[in-house]
Structure 1
Amino acid sequence: MKRIGILGGTFDPPHHGHLIMAEYARNDLDLDEVWFIPSHVPPHKQGAKVAGEDRLRMVQKAVESNPYFQASDVELTRKGTSYTVDTMKYLKDQFPENEFYFIIGGDMVEHLPQWHKIDELQNLVQFVGVKRSGYRWNPEIPVHFVEIPLIEISSSNIRERLFSGNSVRYLVPDSVYHFIKEHKLYGAES
């Protein structure tokens, strides 16, 4: 049996904050792997700014240097709204021997009671919350908390910086930075 961390998100683009979350959760929970799953259509926010294929390629580039990390196209392949419960049912069917840990940022913990089919989802995964300042913890849903260094990086800020012509170097892995520049994503110049 493998202990697999799942880090879902839009990854529009993936950044060092995502990688730090995954690495700290992996170490804290002694996970065998962490799978990064870009969403097709996230249920809780507007659609992604770039195509799913580009977001998947950026995630692949972001995780390529860590042997414990891998990118998965499960939600991009399935299409439709990316409800976590549907993804986890699929993964449990495909990998029944694995134990899954769903990693979420502290900003999402307080919204867990409103997640689609949360009662069913709680039976499929153990939630791992990465502590983030400014958010309260909801005791209604059992969550294992992981402490990480406070690093305020967001994909929306990165997109804004790129659109304004500002550098995002050191906010994203170099391989992601070069992919963004090469493909002129988010208004970036080559």
Structure 2
Amino acid sequence: MKKKVGILGGTFDPPHLGHLIIANEVLHRLQLDEIQFMPNQEPPHKERESHTTNRDRIRMLELAIQGNPFFSIEKIELERKGRSYTYDTIKMLVEQNPDDEYYFIIGADMVEYLPYWKEIDELMKMINFVGVNRPNYQLETPYPIIQIEVPFIEISSSMIRKRNKNGETINYLLPYGVIHYIEENQLYES
């Protein structure tokens, strides 16, 4: 049976309410069957700043999405070594699930960067890109993308890591289970 699957990639280090709001908005606006959160190994466009393990990031994602039957985790990029290029990942997913229709969710900051993506023209034939608004970025590109307006939530994983390191509160920025996991495992402390 054909499924409409949204994919939200990222480091999720840690996953926060902004990620969940984006996923929920796209799920409902496009009437998708599910959203798969796809943690990446080594994103080509930035270096990871944190020393959390893949196991930590998966566990935090599990805690963040628990109770939502439309959210799941796709670990395909964690199972590969080296840089994670969307083209390679999507090619594998489409081969594994040829009946599924994929919607790849990106922020407006990545929409501007689309012309530089590996094999972008081939990628455009395999998936639908969904661009979500972000403060200070435009959703303008020569490529066909589905634009979704989401509430502006200015939360970032780097801000949460910095606040935690400085002993500041991170309450209400992420699900309680994720906060508890961070505290219990002393993640992002100085």
Q: Return the TM-score normalized by structure 1.
A: 0.96
Is contact 2:4–2:33 with CA below 8 Å preserved after alignment? yes
List alignment gaps of at least 5 residues for structure 1: none
Matches within 5 A, 1:18-167: 18-49=19-50, 50-167=52-169
Q: Give aligned-pair identity as a percent.
A: 50
**2: CA distance, partners of 1:84 / 1:57:** 23
**2: CA distance, partners of 1:131 / 1:66:** 24
**1: CA distance, partners of 2:5 / 2:163:** 33
List alignment gaps of at least 5 residues for structure 2: none
Aligned partner letter, 1:85 = Y
Q: Return the TM-score normalized by structure 2.
A: 0.96
Residue 7 of structure 2 corresponds to which residue in structure 1? 6
Is contact 1:10–1:48 with CA below 8 Å preserved after alignment? no
| SS of the residue 1:74 aligns to | coil
Is contact 2:39–2:75 with CA below 8 Å preserved after alignment? yes
Kindly state the Cα deviation for residue 17 of structure 1 after the two structures are TM-superposed.
0.2
Aligned partner letter, 2:65 = V
**2: CA distance, partners of 1:130 / 1:94:** 27
Is contact 1:12–1:48 with CA below 8 Å preserved after alignment? no
CA RMSD of aligned residues (A): 1.1
**1: CA distance, partners of 2:126 / 2:133:** 22
User: After alignment, is 132-141 or 36-45 more displaced?
Assistant: 132-141
Aligned partner letter, 2:85 = Y
Is contact 1:41–1:48 with CA below 8 Å preserved after alignment? no
Kindly state the Cα deviation for residue 48 of structure 1 after the two structures are TM-superposed.
4.9
**2: CA distance, partners of 1:38 / 1:137:** 23
Is contact 1:26–1:33 with CA below 8 Å preserved after alignment? yes
Kindly state the Cα deviation for residue 169 of structure 1 after the two structures are TM-superposed.
1.1
Is contact 1:110–1:138 with CA below 8 Å preserved after alignment? yes
**2: CA distance, partners of 1:41 / 1:145:** 26
- 1:5–1:48 Cα change, 3 Å: farther
**1: CA distance, partners of 2:132 / 2:141:** 15
The runs of 4+ residues in structure 1 deviating greater than 3 Å are none
**Greater helix proportion:** 1
| SS of the residue 2:109 aligns to | helix
**Could you give the per-residue CA deviations for residues 59-116 of structure 1, whole angstroms, max 9, x where no partner exists?**
1111112110001211111121111111101110111110000001122111111111
Equivalenced residue count is 188
**2: CA distance, partners of 1:69 / 1:184:** 27
